[in-house]
Every structure is written in C-alpha cells, then in structure tokens.
Amino acid sequence: MALLSPADWAIVALSLKVGVVAVAATLPVAFALAWVLARTRFPGRIVLDAVVHLPLVLPPVVMGWLLLLGFGASGPFGRALEAVFGTSVMFRWTGAALAAAVMALPLMVRAIRLSLEAVDPRLESAARTLGAGPWRAFATVTLPLTLPGMIAATVLGLARSLGEFGATITFVSNIPGETQTLPLAIYSALQLPGGDVQVARLAAISVALSLAALIASEALARRTGLRHVA
C-alpha cells in the first residue's frame, strides 16, 4: 500500500479538526444535560431526554436537513449568526463540526449520565459540612468521580464524529478541504474510476484511528478506574 499523499493527510487533518472541535464544544453541553437528566426531576424531563436522544434514532439525512433549516441562510440560527457575527457555518468546516457535534451528543450524554448516576450525591453534602461551597463540592467530589464517564464520552464522541456521513453531506455538502471528512472522501473516491487504491488507504486510516481511540480509552479507563472507583 502506498504511503499517504499530501491530499490524504489533508483529509485526515480536517477530520481530526472537525472531530476534536465538535467533541470539545459538546463536552460541557453534554455534561450539563447529563447532570440535569441524572440529578433533577421536573415536568418535561422525559421530553428533554427524548430530544437529546433524537439524533441517535433519526436518519442522519433528516438531522442534516433539520440543521439546514435552522442554520441555512434563511433559518433562524443562520440569520442570527449572520446578524451577530457576520458569519455562517454553511459549506464550512464549522458546519461539519456542528453536524458531528449534534450526532455525537446523545452518546456523550449517555456515557456521562451513567457515571453521574453512580456518584452518591450524599458525598457532596459531606463536602459541604467540611466547609466547601456548592461549586467547590461539585468540582472536588462529583467532577473527578465522573472522569471515567467523561473519557468514555470523549472517545465515543470522537468516534461518532470521525464516522459522521449523512448529516454532514446533507447539511454542508462534500467540499474537498472544507467539509470533506474521511467518510465523505471515501464516498467520493468510490465514485471515481480507479479510486480503489485511495479508498483502501482512507479506509485503513479510519480503522487505525478507531483502534487508536479505543485502545487509548481502555488504557485511560484502567488508570482512572484504579484511582477513582470505590
């Protein structure tokens, strides 16, 4: 198999940029949602839970179309972005990151919620009686105890982002150098006569990246598992 061409490297770099930005931006949102779903009871919680999980069960093409409606030139969010920041996510890598973030969100919320539910909330009240305010109690007790869940969420989110296809191509199209991530590049190469070699190279990269992410998460989970789980 031939070594990677500069074009291949550009595709990998773009995919990683899209994935990392998507996961980094989604992590705090996913944590907040997981906390609300795990620790609070309010009418409409079931609806919120369902909406968060929607990207998991909806056809990605539909998700991409919904994003198009919202963030397109005439969509409410698209118009707001244009008016406030003079920018748009349409046909940009930021749009690809947004699509990846939305598709990764339910997986990340699930992973964090599971680990939050395993943390005894009474530990925080113990911290309060020891002189910690609510934020310090949260940051020194609950947050470190949910670290394994955050790692799992990061890896799942990254994997989902690197694999995102349907929502991305529907929302921001398939533009080399801007929105053409690995799966989209593979799809394009498949359309070309004689593209098999590039398909094989890009597929091999996908396998390697996924394996690396899984191994890294397993190694991290073992280390934090020894340190954090009661």
Partner 1 sequence: MSPDPALSVDIAVRRGDRLIETRFAATAGITALFGPSGAGKTSVLDAIAGLVRPARGRIALGGEVLFDAARGIDLAPEKRHCGVVFQDLRLFPHRTVRDNLLYGQRLADPAAQLLSLDEACAFLGIGALLDRRPRTLSGGEAQRVAIGRALLRGPRLLLLDEPLSSLDAARREEIMVVIERIRDQLALPMVLVSHRVDEVERLASEVVSLDVLAEPA
> What DSSP character marks residue 72?
S
Residues 101-120 that bind partner 1 (CB under 8 A): 120
Residue from 130, 204, 208, 214 touching partner 1 (CB under 8 A): that is 130
Binding segment toward partner 1, per CB under 8 A, in 66-74, 124-132, 183-191, 211-219: 124-132
Q: Decide: 153 and 112 in contact? Cβ < 8 Å.
A: yes
DSSP code, position 4: P
Nearer to partner 1, 59 or 133 (CB): 133
Tokens linked to 74: 């005439």
Residue from 70, 72, 75, 144 that binds partner 1 (CB under 8 A)? 144
What backbone phi and psi angles, to 5 degrees, belong to 89? -95, -5
Residues 6+ apart with CB under 8 A from 160: 100, 103, 104, 107
Return the residue of 76, 133, 176, 177 that touches partner 1, per CB under 8 A. 133
Region binding partner 1 by CB under 8 A among candidate stretches 4-12, 121-129, 171-179, 185-193: 121-129
128, 138, 199, 220: which one binds partner 1 (CB under 8 A): 128
Please state the closest distance from residue 114 (CB atom) to partner 1, in A. Answer: 17
| Residues whose CB is less than 8 angstroms from the CB of residue 115 and which lie 6 or more positions away in sequence, other chains included | 145, 146, 147, 148, 149, 150, 152
- Provide the binding-site residues for partner 1, judged by CB under 8 A: 120, 122-123, 125-134, 136, 140-141, 144-145, 227-230
